[in-house]
Amino acid sequence: MPGIEECLAEAMGIGGALGVSLVDWTNGLAIGTAGLGPDGDHEVGAADATELARAVTQTPSFADPDTGAPPAEDVIVTSGGNYHLLRFIPASFDANVFLYLRLDRDLANLAMARLRLAAIADRLVLS
Amino acid sequence: MWSADTLAPTTPAPPLPPVPSVPPLLVASPVSVHRLVPAAGQFGAAAAVPGPYLTNGPVTGESVLPGPATTSVTTTPVTAAPVTAESVTAESVSAPPAPRPRRAHAAPLPRRRRSSCAPATTFEAALTDLAADGSTGALHGPGGAVHLAGGLVVHAEAPGAATVGHLLTGAGRITVRQWEDGLPLGAGRLAEHLLGSGLVGAGELELARLAATLDGAQEALAQHDGELRFDPAAVPAFRLARPLSVLELRGAIGRRRSLLDGCWPSADLDRAPLLATGAAPTRRTAVPRRRRQALLAAADGTRTAPELARLLGRSTYGTLLDVRQLAAAGLLTAPRPAAVPDPPPAAVPQAAPPDVLLPPGPRSYDSSDPEVGLLLRLRAALEAL
């Protein structure tokens, strides 16, 4: 049963990973970090990613509430040099957290990274 | 975070900022001026004590004045605990032998980090001061407690907030029996027991600890009245693996509150018994269907949001977020107005006329008549002279 630090270290092993953090989107706290944040600042990156996560979880169009499933699984943003991957943690209680992984666009395989991050997110909370 | 040696002034009087007319302490603190000036005057003599909140004895003059809400009412919370054992020893050990010269003006408060978010309540202010001193222990108030270790927040709890046990048992991760089996181990070893028995994963336990800490801190930081007490010997039930600075905690709580207000800008439903209206929603909500249905089914007009959270095994905050969204969609309401948290101060207790002067038997006057009541009070006051 890995802890948060082990999961973050594992996420940094994904090809092209630049930095990863575990963020609580109700309050913007970076609970754990590894690698480098955007512009070297994980706190700012966590705050910005929180805005994105709130936009998804708090709006009915994206949260898709009628399926009965947890609000959203992930968010992918593609910028000039990076992929930004947000993966929501399916905690059994109200842990409103997500993994925020930044990838180098030239080095990363987006489909593979998404699958591996999903597996890490599941392992974080399910023993 | 802010170690005392880096932040305590080495020179007796660092230069003041260019706006010295009102010292920063008086701006940053919710406590009114007339209470702080004498406290700041003591600062030079009691520099090793965690803060002015713990050095003042109770102000007895205010407690006997039950008048209407005036500025003096807001200052009563500062009548904090007596000087604790830790602060006494710290003073005796680290205080210089020669007393420092008293400053003519209020102390420039060298160790409190001034930022855009000034402490909004007396609890926040006291916690900020304790953290700046690198204190270890628990700051208790009537509505919750925050545990510090070396000036960093490691745990928080509040009477109505969800605990780690509520979260884990409510979510079905462990049974109530398994939880109760671990309780006799006492504070501090419960986490080892849960991890060692393989019941809960390390990641999940840390998330539960954080959720419980933030739930407790949200209640605790809002305390603005009541007596505060610092207990250096308190041992928290759980410790965050990554402790938070007080500034981080206050920022996090503030963002949580603003998210709530963004959904439905009223705190009326936070403590009131909730009732499902049964009406069709006026708009779609982002609350997942199962969560929504369970919450609406349990909202029977008798349970408040924190009680619903415990019943459903959810965090208090997550439930409040759902409640406000459902209220915005017209699905939840409070059947009667929320209990007023601060009832107006009781009327001045009327000095009853001495019974010995009254004739026996039923009174011949109607004391509910305001004019009669006024005459009775006047008579009682005259007799008391």
SS3 A40: helix
Q: Where residue B198 falls among pLDDT bands split at 50, 70, 90?
A: confident
Which chain A residues touch B288 with a CB distance below 8 Å?
Answer: 63, 65, 67-71
pLDDT of residue B102: 52
Closest Cβ opposite residue B201 in set A1, A26, A63: A1
SS3 B222: coil
What are B383's two structure tokens?
């007799």
The per-residue b/e assignment along B285-300, b for 16 or more CB within 10 angstroms, e otherwise, is: bbbbeebbeebbebbe
Task: Tell me which of B90-104, B115-129, B139-153 is least confident.
Answer: B90-104
Given CA atoms B249, B34, B89, B186 in this order, what sign does their dihedral have?
negative
Q: Is the pLDDT of residue B179 over 70?
A: yes
User: Of B113, B48, B40, B35, which is closest to residue B86 (Cα–Cα)?
Assistant: B48
Closest Cβ opposite residue B286 in set A28, A63, A95: A63
Q: Where residue B73 falls among pLDDT bands split at 50, 70, 90?
A: very low
B289 to A7: CB separation less than 8 angstroms, yes or no: no
Given CA atoms B198, B234, A5, A72 in this order, what sign does their dihedral have?
positive
DSSP class of B268? G
Query: Scanning every residue of chain A, which has its alpha carbon at the shortest distance from the alpha carbon of B247?
Result: A29
B377 in contact with A, Cβ within 8 Å: no
Task: Tell me which of A34-38, B67-71, B284-288, B381-385 is least confident.
Answer: B67-71
Residues of chain A with pLDDT under 50: none
- Do B56 and B138 form a contact (C-beta atoms < 8 A)? no
Query: What distance in Å separates residue B255's CA from the closest CA in chain A?
Result: 5
Q: How far apart are CA B32 and CA B25, in angstroms?
A: 11
Q: Is the pLDDT of residue B231 over 50?
A: yes
What are B304's two structure tokens?
């408040």
B203 to A1: CB separation less than 8 angstroms, yes or no: yes
- List CB contacts of B254: < 8 A, sequence separation 6 or more: B117
- Per-residue pLDDT of B295-331, as tens digits, reads 999 998 889 998 998 888 888 999 999 999 999 998 9
pLDDT of residue A108: 94
User: Complex ipTM, two decimals?
Assistant: 0.90
Q: Identify which has the larger pLDDT, B353 or B280.
A: B280
Query: What distance in Å separates residue B111's CA from the closest CA in chain A?
Result: 24
Query: Highest mean pLDDT range out of B5-14, B115-124, B310-319?
Result: B310-319
Q: How far apart are CA B200 and CA B178, in angstroms?
A: 11
